[in-house]
Amino acid sequence: MVVWTDQERACIQDIFSKLNYEVAGPKALQRALIVYPWTQRYFASFGNLYNAEAIMSNPKVAAHGVVVLHGLDRAMKNMDDIKNTYAELSVLHSEKLHVDPDNFRLLADCLTIVIAANMGTSFTADVQAAWQKFLAVVVSALRRQYH
């Protein structure tokens, strides 16, 4: 079972309270698709992903970025049982979407960069540690139902 300190809980709540899901979600997904282009394999139905400009202006990418962040919101609201909160999502990503779980880490890293850019120096080492611990738990929960 994941043990969260009060400081870690406060950090995560604080980050989410400052996050504009409509902005950060799209930015993170766009960044992942550009920095790690092989991730585009999962979005063949999204239309034009031909180059960075196309990705940045693609409305389906933007919409999906928001979906991802709302998913993370659920984890944040259920921090003491992310494992079960994400059980269905894990099955979805494994059996329907067939996403290589390594991609979760790539998207997580891109979201971290977006948040760091947004928060500037208030994204201290301790805040980063709490945030990355949260993302690691999320990624682990998403991988859990793979077989």
Partner 1 sequence: MSLSDKDKAAVKALWAKISPKADDIGAEALGRMLTVYPQTKTYFAHWADLSPGSGPVKKHGKVIMGAVGDAVSKIDDLVGGLASLSELHASKLRVDPANFKILAHNVIVVIGMLFPGDFPPEVHMSVDKFFQNLALALSEKYR
Residues that bind partner 1 in the complex, under the rule CB under 8 A: 30-31, 34-36, 52, 55-56, 109, 112-114, 116-121, 123, 125-126, 128-129, 132
Residue 142, classified by CB atoms within 10 Å of its CB into exposed (0-12), middle (13-18) or buried (19+), is buried
The one-letter code for the residue type at 126 is D
Rounded to the nearest whole angstrom, what is the least distance from the CB of residue 29 to partner 1 in the complex? 10
Rounded to the nearest whole angstrom, what is the least distance from the CB of residue 87 to partner 1 in the complex? 28
Residue number, 34 or 79, with CB nearest to partner 1: 34
CA distance 89 to 9: 23
The one-letter code for the residue type at 94 is S
CA distance 108 to 53: 22
Rounded to the nearest whole angstrom, what is the least distance from the CB of residue 114 to partner 1 in the complex? 8
Residue number, 2 or 52, with CB nearest to partner 1: 52
Residue number, 30 or 103, with CB nearest to partner 1: 30
Residue 146: left (phi > 0), alpha (psi -120 to 50), or beta? beta
Rounded to the nearest whole angstrom, what is the least distance from the CB of residue 147 to partner 1 in the complex? 26
